[in-house]
C-alpha cells in the first residue's frame, strides 16, 4: 500500500438556516477540510477536520497537508500508521511551529485518511477494524435544538419535537448569556416541557468565569443538569478543578484540547468528569485512542465531541468501551457516501469499509473551494 498521491480539499457546506450561534461562535457554513490519499493498489482514503469555514484559515491547514506533510508521505506504506504518525508529529521543523493548532488538525485529517485506507483494504468498517462494537445501540443526544440563537419559545417547541416526534431521549442546550439567570429560565422551560426522564446537558463553549459558573450552578443543581460542558476558558485547568469540587453537576470538556497530554492534565487534576475528545482536533484516530483509553483507565466516561464531525466518531463510539452516547448535529452528513443516521434516538451502525469520510462527487462539485 504505497502512497502515490496526497490531495487536500476544502468544502464549505451551508447549513439550511441563515446562521446558528453558541456563546462564542456564529456560523453559516461548516468547513470540511482534509485530504484524499491514494495508494498504488488503487484505493483512496479520506480524512478531514471540521472548521467554521473561513477560507484563509482553512488554507493554512491544506497548505500544511500538501506542502509540509505531503512530501513526507509519498512512497511510504500506508499500513505503517503508528510509524507515520510519529514521523509527522515529531518532525522537528513542523513541531517547532505547532505541537497543537493548524499542524495538529492537519495531522488529524491525514491520520484519519490512513485509517480509512486500512479499513478499506481490510474490507472492514473502522469500528470492526479497531476491535468490534462494545455497545449494542449507541444513543444519540440532540444538540441541534439548543443553539443560543434560538429564542425560548422555539427552543421549547424544538425540544418537545425532538423527544416526542424524533425519538431522542437526550438533549443539550447552549448557555452563556451575560446574565446567567436567562439561561436558568431557558433550561427550566425545556425541563418543564420534556419532563424529568429526559437528560439535558448544557454547553457554555468556554464563555463564563468561575464566579459566574458557581452562581449558575447553585441555581441549576436542583434542575438535574446532566453535565456542564466547557464552562470556562478551554485551557484553564485550575478553574475547572475548582468548579468540579464545588458543584454536584459533572464537568464535561475536551473539544478544544489538542493533545493526549492536555487531557492527562485535566484528568490528573480532577477537572473533568465527561471526557470529550474530538478525533479531528487531537491528531486523528491514533491519538484519540490514547485519550479514550487513558480516560477509561481512570473510569471516566468518554463522549466524543461531534460538532458536525460525526462520520468518524460514530465508529469510534460504537467501538470504545467507555462510550455509550454521541452528540448529533445533522448539517453535513449528506456530503458523505455513507451518511450518519439516527433512528429512534440511536445511531445506525455504519457498514461500509473504512472510516466513513468518503465524500460524494456531488458534494465536492457543489461545495469545493480552491485550496
Ligand atoms: C458551533 N458542540 C459544540 C459548534 C459545537 C459548537 O460553534 O462548533 O457549538 O461544536 O460545542 O458540543
Ligand atoms: Mg461543545
pLDDT tens readout for residues 94-103: 999 999 999 9
pLDDT of residue 308: 65
Taking residues 75-95, what's their average pLDDT?
97
103 Cα to the center of ligand 1, angstroms: 21
Mean pLDDT of the chain: 97
CA-nearest residue, atom 2 of ligand 1 = 307
What superfamily would CATH give domain 128-347? Enolase-like C-terminal domain (3.20.20.120)
Checking if the pLDDT of 350 tops 90, the result is yes
Whether 203 lines ligand 1, by a CB cut-off of 6 Å, is yes
pLDDT band with cut points at 50, 70 and 90 for residue 330: confident
Domain boundaries, the chain: 3-123+361-369, 128-347
Checking if the pLDDT of 205 tops 80, the result is yes
Instruction: Give the residue carrying C-alpha cell 441549576.
Output: 220
Model confidence pTM above 0.85: yes
Joined together, the cell numbers standing for residue 285 give 484516530
pLDDT band with cut points at 50, 70 and 90 for residue 16: confident
Site to substitute for ligand 1 among 252, 307, 313, most atoms within 8 A of C-beta: 307
pLDDT of residue 309: 75
CA-nearest residue, atom 6 of ligand 1 = 307
Provide the CATH topology of domain 3-123+361-369.
Answer: Enolase-like; domain 1 (3.30.390)
If residue 328 lies in a helix (H) or strand (E), which one and from where to where? strand 325-328
What ligand has the least distance to the C-alpha of 310? 1
pLDDT tens readout for residues 37-57: 999 999 999 999 999 999 999
Percent of the chain with pLDDT over 90: 97
CA-nearest residue, atom 10 of ligand 1 = 307
Taking residues 66-74, what's their average pLDDT?
98
Determine how β-strand 26-27 pairs with β-strand 20-21.
Answer: antiparallel
142 Cα to the center of ligand 1, angstroms: 12
pLDDT tens readout for residues 269-319: 999 999 999 999 999 999 999 999 999 999 999 999 997 678 999 999 999
Taking residues 247-252, what's their average pLDDT?
98
Distance of alpha carbon 46 from alpha carbon 74, whole angstroms: 16
What ligand has the least distance to the C-alpha of 141? 1
CA-nearest residue, atom 4 of ligand 1 = 307
pLDDT of residue 64: 98
Residues forming beta bridges with residue 138, ordered by sequence position = 347
Taking residues 15-28, what's their average pLDDT?
92
Determine how β-strand 199-203 pairs with β-strand 170-174.
Answer: parallel
72 Cα to the center of ligand 2, angstroms: 34
Taking residues 313-334, what's their average pLDDT?
95
CA-nearest residue, atom 9 of ligand 1 = 22
The C-alpha torsion from 262 through 268 and 271 to 275, rounded to 10°, is 60
For residue 199, CA distances in Å to 37, 138, 223, 275, 302 come to 41, 15, 11, 17, 17
Taking residues 172-189, what's their average pLDDT?
98
Amino acid at each position: 500500500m504505497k502512497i502515490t498521491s496526497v490531495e487536500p480539499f476544502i468544502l464549505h457546506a451551508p447549513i439550511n438556516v441563515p446562521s446558528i450561534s453558541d456563546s462564542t461562535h456564529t456560523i453559516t457554513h461548516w468547513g470540511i477540510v482534509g485530504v484524499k490519499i491514494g495508494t498504488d493498489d488503487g484505493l483512496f482514503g479520506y480524512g478531514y477536520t471540521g472548521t467554521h469555514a473561513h477560507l484563509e484559515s482553512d488554507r493554512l491547514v491544506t497548505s500544511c497537508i500538501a506542502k509540509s506533510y505531503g512530501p513526507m508521505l509519498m512512497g511510504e506504506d500506508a499500513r505503517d500508521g503508528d510509524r507515520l504518525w510519529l514521523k509527522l508529529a515529531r518532525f522537528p521543523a513542523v513541531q517547532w511551529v505547532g505541537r497543537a493548532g493548524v499542524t495538529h488538525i492537519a495531522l488529524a485529517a491525514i491520520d484519519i485518511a490512513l485509517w480509512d485506507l486500512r479499513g478499506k483494504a481490510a474490507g472492514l468498517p473502522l469500528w470492526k477494524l479497531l476491535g468490534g462494537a462494545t455497545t449494542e445501540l449507541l444513543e444519540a443526544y440532540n444538540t441541534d435544538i439548543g443553539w443560543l440563537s434560538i429564542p425560548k419559545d422555539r427552543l421549547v417547541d424544538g425540544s418537545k419535537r425532538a423527544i416526542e416526534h424524533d425519538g431522542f431521549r437526550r438533549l443539550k442546550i447552549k448557555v452563556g448569556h451575560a446574565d446567567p439567570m436567562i439561561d436558568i429560565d431557558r433550561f427550566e422551560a425545556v425541563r418543564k416541557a420534556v419532563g424529568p426522564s429526559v437528560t439535558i446537558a448544557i454547553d457554555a463553549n468556554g464563555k463564563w468565569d468561575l464566579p459566574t459558573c458557581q452562581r449558575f450552578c447553585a441555581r441549576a443543581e436542583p434542575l438535574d443538569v446532566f453535565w456542564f460542558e466547557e464552562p470556562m476558558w478551554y485551557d484553564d485547568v485550575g478553574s475547572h478543578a475548582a468548579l468540579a469540587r464545588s458543584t454536584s453537576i459533572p464537568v464535561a470538556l475536551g473539544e478544544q484540547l489538542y493533545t493526549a497530554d492536555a487531557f492527562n492534565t485535566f484528568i490528573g487534576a480532577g477537572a473533568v468528569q465527561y471526557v470529550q475528545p474530538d478525533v479531528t482536533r487531537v491528531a486523528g484516530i491514533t491519538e484519540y485512542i490514547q485519550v479514550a483509553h487513558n480516560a477509561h483507565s481512570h473510569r471516566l466516561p468518554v463522549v466524543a465531541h461531534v460538532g458536525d464531525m460525526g462520520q468518524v466518531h460514530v465508529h469510534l463510539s460504537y467501538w470504545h468501551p467507555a462510550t455509550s452516547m454521541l452528540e448529533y448535529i445533522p448539517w453535513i452528513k449528506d456530503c458523505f457516501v455513507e451518511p450518519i443516521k439516527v433512528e429512534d434516538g440511536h445511531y445506525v451502525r455504519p457498514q461500509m469499509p473504512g472510516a466513513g469520510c468518503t465524500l460524494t462527487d456531488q458534494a465536492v462539485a457543489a461545495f469545493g473551494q480552491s485550496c
